[in-house]
Structure 1
């Protein structure tokens, strides 16, 4: 375990038996100031000695051993340069998305091109509207916004007076107002939206012929311990990293035993040097104040797979380094003497710390005793850095770099921590706790998460920090979290909320106050901008709805400003029982009502020449997987005001298979007393995207009577519930000239492929009518592993020509745990 300089010295002294060679080598080494000059002198001396003396093999041995020592000394630097180059390559790949986000964060004015002005919009009088558009653009061009690069770093108290969409029970009224960056009409002047959506720039990988395969997760469905969430692109980065590390370990490194023919070898320091380089990298990838994530636009939770790989490589290199030297000393009979040296003691301390970290990181220990794993991680890192710094002097700069990275992370965590007073609401029947912190109203981006500590819990749990996705939008009445009682800590939180305090038996909730400590925000969607897409699909499973709610509420609140380019949001929520969804129905109704109010106002204003952005429609699909046919589906039992019964006519409806909120549980159209589908006069042609306008189909359904083929189709659908759900998904309202916000409820599991196909066809049809280019479909899934994997497969299975026609599809995955 000697330093490279010591190895060079032994190479020079041990390999020179001739007086002439020894003198020339040592003198040249003393005269020269660098090791490179010494090696050059060695080469010249070896050539001269080969001509003057027959002992050429001995001189070659000296030169080769010196070269090996020089290679060992350069290995840390070269490997660090290679890893930095790999990081730069990844940054270049995500560079276009970052530029789009930066441009949208600078709020520059956007001037429409002539061809954009010539395209018709959603109007009735095309020519009049086109002239109005030209006048508006010349008078007051919109400002590109929505990058949000300067937000999402620190929590703070933002705007006051805003209302939250979250309700513990009862109903709420939508807020009919223009939010900031929306100019209200004055003195007879029509209101206008002042902002424009950010540009959509697809990742560079999507331009490759095999780009869709890079997003696949080929090992996501494998059995443990071989399963991994890593995508193909991540696996390629990992493969490049492993190849670089392997080359660094074996390039010009001879570990064979010295012989009479070869006096050099036993290069046991190389693996130790490679392990030394991994230490700052593994710490940088594991901490929450992640500088690598900052450079690549990824949260620390998305870099955990790289943290694990680098940590295991570091352990393997340390183990090989230790085994080599123990074997050498054991065969030489100097093991007892070597164990008393400072080099051995400090080296074994560092190796023991590495073993402690690796053993406590095993999945069985990490899942059953997370905080034991976390404490041993901290202790192990400290012992590793201390032992490594005392082991060899060449490791001191790397230890300082590792300590600086860890210290930076601690400072960032302290700066992101806030103490606040929260309201805990326990929902009866769903074992879900709603945490509302009214004192924190801004500072995060939709989709980010925080780490929560509840100081009112018992002493053994109050210091535990648990991650929760923020379920509310910024500036919407406070920070809201949702915790499902799925473990010991969350169960204790639910019992705390339901014990004492206010008890509202009428709505089945319990409330109480608590002191909390919030750290964050972290994670999020990175450089992906949902506001830049034409359509958005959000898929949630169980408590994963919090991620989708945050995005949905944020897009609804910002839609009037013009910064949202999407026309539709399809939120698919999969729950096991109705009680889980019923607790959030007031919140969902509020979101849909708000979206619907703005839809009607914006569409009506655009018909009268107002320069308003296209509104966003929110269609929520709730799938109850454990609802038997004998149990009524009672989530939606009221028809929204002002909504026609188009959906009731255009799809077979019954209490047994998939219902929308335009049909209550007592409706008898399309079903008999047993809840099975029957053929009646209310069965009509289904509205398929791009085939017939919804209003025309509704009119035709009142003129023409159902044919025999339609009766046959209805009977067939009665025997195939899965196809009924598919038909209802396709028959949801899709007319962009009408308000489309609505809630639907279904039995069974969703057909995600059918949903993606429906949204894709609708997007193509909608932009085909307006002669505009779509800007892609954004799909985000949050929930159990199998649901996220199904959503990823459904997104990637979209036909290539359709994917190109909608401007591309992008997928983002969020999982329950880290």
Structure 2
């Protein structure tokens, strides 16, 4: 960074770089110095947060069963073949047309591993403030995230106003905009150092990327307007704008505004390809234009380009070309995608990006990638590979289900060549197997996260690599027949959990009244699986789990004098479901939370 400062100072002293540099408030290299030290302050804040996270980082890396997962997908040692399927509506069958084959009841070759160390999150020190900080503010952004954005804005505002004025020195805001380029690029990359250090998935930090990008846009536009106003008043606008470096500055600001406009939610959600392509084209042109406009920006642009190229290289290393089997899940309104060749490498809660290489999905299907949460555990006993449940939410997923359904009617089965990139996101440095109790609250397609987490915990309990004694899974669906394709999986997991000594319960709530078209008939439900109508009382269920966890942990550690390791609540579903879970956690008395070792929340 010192070399970056020296280069920028040298360029700033070059009289040929900025003919417009002489104005009040710009003393020597003050503009460069201010934005440089503001960047250093942001690095210091990142280092401080990393220091607080170090105990959890060490706990994860010190456990062999945890440190090898979550980085790269690895292939099976021997080729696996998708199982021959039967009817998807068979309620008692141990196989299904979805390819979601239940795991064996026991794993004789399960490796015995020590359970991971449990380290409470440093946020536990802020326990009285947690309910306040978790208050929803804007969509999925909590008040804590909003306060951080306000802090970030204050830091950038200081850089723009320290010992100067935007009216007399618009050049300062040009430096402020340039200094934010590396941060915006880092926060946008899927393989970024900030996520690695803080244990937060890139997708959970994307709102900071958008906020930083908006600050960059505001600073750059005020910088341009300042000079337009100045040159217009002096009558020199045409003469200045005809100079190459200012023409490139105009190109740069147009690119920034294009990036801002096409990053709005309406484009991201309804025309993602337009958003993506405009981002790629405008970003590259912007980096080139800003260097030609402002030579002092080159060090920051080089840093941003280096981050972007490193991210691209890692994404290539994380990409696997495989053959996948597809099967429709009409009860869930989804399509199951099973990739038997990928054996493991991911953690529960992580997602991959799927690209289908088939003309049957359209001529441009190769250009589309879609993120899906993994619905199976890494190195699962059933050896069914990586499984995705692709919910029908748009044109691409509906085409996928229609194609899978057509092939199913032909009786030939459906296989496609796919590119799988990942894994990304996930629980970070939070170790599910290090707690005493786990409650999984899922809504609709959130079952993908629940299946992976439950299977991973049962698998580790079988191997003696988990301290979880109580595991509850609550799944909210619209209609009762959604249970049909999942029944064999739940039955198998319950049998494995019982053999491993894990108290596992599954409760499925169907929230819509029964209709003939969505009636599932009579289920032969195994012990531990309950089907109810209505909405769950999450506060009562959490209190019950806390009580059973505390008692189970005390019984298990009575001789050793161990205390409960806490309860983890994982939620994946609609925003309203997440809010209900937060309210249920906040309703538990502080004394009860301390007695059980604390209650932590993961939102996927």
Q: Same fold (TM over 0.5)?
A: yes
State the structure with bigger RCO (CA 8 A, min sep 6), 1 or 2. 2
Question: Structure 1, residues 54-109: CA drift from partner, whole Å, max 9, x if none?
Answer: xxxxxxxxxx856x34421312211210110111122123222112112223xxxx
- Structure 1 491/455 Cα, relative in aligned 2: closer, same or farther at 3 Å? same
Question: Structure 1, residues 143-186: CA drift from partner, whole Å, max 9, x if none?
Answer: xxx4x12222111113559999997552268634445455xxxx
What aligned pairs does 1:426-465 form with structure 2 within 5 A after superposition? 426-456=328-358, 457-465=361-369
- Structure 1 199/429 Cα, relative in aligned 2: closer, same or farther at 3 Å? closer
How far, CA to CA, are the matches of 1:626 and 1:436 in structure 2?
A: 30
Q: Match of 2:447?
A: 545
Q: Match of 1:418?
A: 320
How far, CA to CA, are the matches of 1:413 and 1:353 in structure 2?
A: 25
1:529 equivalent in alignment to 2:431: yes
SS in 2 for 1:517: strand
How far, CA to CA, are the matches of 1:212 and 1:635 in structure 2?
A: 44
For structure 2, the residue ranges without an aligned partner over 5 or more in a row are: 1-8, 96-101
Q: Match of 1:205?
A: 123
Q: Match of 1:87?
A: 46
Residue 242 of structure 1: which of 132, 148, 153 is its match?
Answer: 153
How far, CA to CA, are the matches of 2:314 and 2:22 in structure 1?
A: 52
SS in 2 for 1:208: helix
Question: Structure 1, residues 349-368: CA drift from partner, whole Å, max 9, x if none?
Answer: 11100000000011112211
- Structure 1 65/591 Cα, relative in aligned 2: closer, same or farther at 3 Å? closer
Residue 750 of structure 1: which of 532, 536, 540 is its match?
Answer: 536
What aligned pairs does 1:492-507 form with structure 2 within 5 A after superposition? 492-501=399-408
Q: Match of 2:139?
A: 228
SS in 2 for 1:153: coil
Tell me how many residue pairs correspond in the alignment: 575
How far, CA to CA, are the matches of 2:108 and 2:566 in structure 1?
A: 26
- Structure 1 161/809 Cα, relative in aligned 2: closer, same or farther at 3 Å? farther
1:157 equivalent in alignment to 2:75: yes
Q: Match of 2:503?
A: 617
Contact map agreement 1:453 1:466 (CA 8 A) in 2: yes
- Structure 1 630/411 Cα, relative in aligned 2: closer, same or farther at 3 Å? closer
1:483 equivalent in alignment to 2:357: no
What aligned pairs does 1:182-221 form with structure 2 within 5 A after superposition? 182=111, 194-213=112-131, 215-219=133-137
Q: Which moved more, 1:247-256 or 1:431-440?
A: 247-256
What aligned pairs does 1:566-645 form with structure 2 within 5 A after superposition? 566-596=468-498, 598-599=499-500, 615-628=501-514, 634=520, 637-638=523-524, 640=526
Normalising to structure 1: TM-score of the pair?
A: 0.66
Q: CA deviation at 1:639?
A: 5.5
What aligned pairs does 1:549-568 form with structure 2 within 5 A after superposition? 549-568=451-470
Q: Match of 1:117?
A: none
How far, CA to CA, are the matches of 1:246 and 1:179 in structure 2?
A: 61
Contact map agreement 2:509 2:536 (CA 8 A) in 1: yes
Contact map agreement 1:217 1:229 (CA 8 A) in 2: no
Q: Match of 1:373?
A: 275
Q: CA deviation at 1:583?
A: 2.1
1:796 equivalent in alignment to 2:582: no
Q: Match of 1:73?
A: 32
Q: CA deviation at 1:461?
A: 2.8
Q: Match of 1:175?
A: 104
Q: CA deviation at 1:553?
A: 0.8
Q: CA deviation at 1:579?
A: 2.6
1:309 equivalent in alignment to 2:211: yes
Q: Match of 2:564?
A: 774
How far, CA to CA, are the matches of 2:282 and 2:176 in structure 1?
A: 19
Q: Match of 1:112?
A: none
Q: Match of 2:370?
A: 466
Q: Match of 1:399?
A: 301
Q: CA deviation at 1:755?
A: 1.0
How far, CA to CA, are the matches of 1:179 and 1:273 in structure 2?
A: 63
- Structure 1 549/160 Cα, relative in aligned 2: closer, same or farther at 3 Å? farther
For structure 1, the residue ranges without an aligned partner over 5 or more in a row are: 16-63, 106-145, 183-193, 220-226, 257-265, 505-509, 600-614, 641-660, 662-741
Q: Match of 2:163?
A: 252
Aligned-CA RMSD value: 2.9
Normalising to structure 2: TM-score of the pair?
A: 0.89
Contact map agreement 1:803 1:809 (CA 8 A) in 2: yes
How far, CA to CA, are the matches of 2:388 and 2:128 in structure 1?
A: 39
- Structure 1 94/162 Cα, relative in aligned 2: closer, same or farther at 3 Å? farther
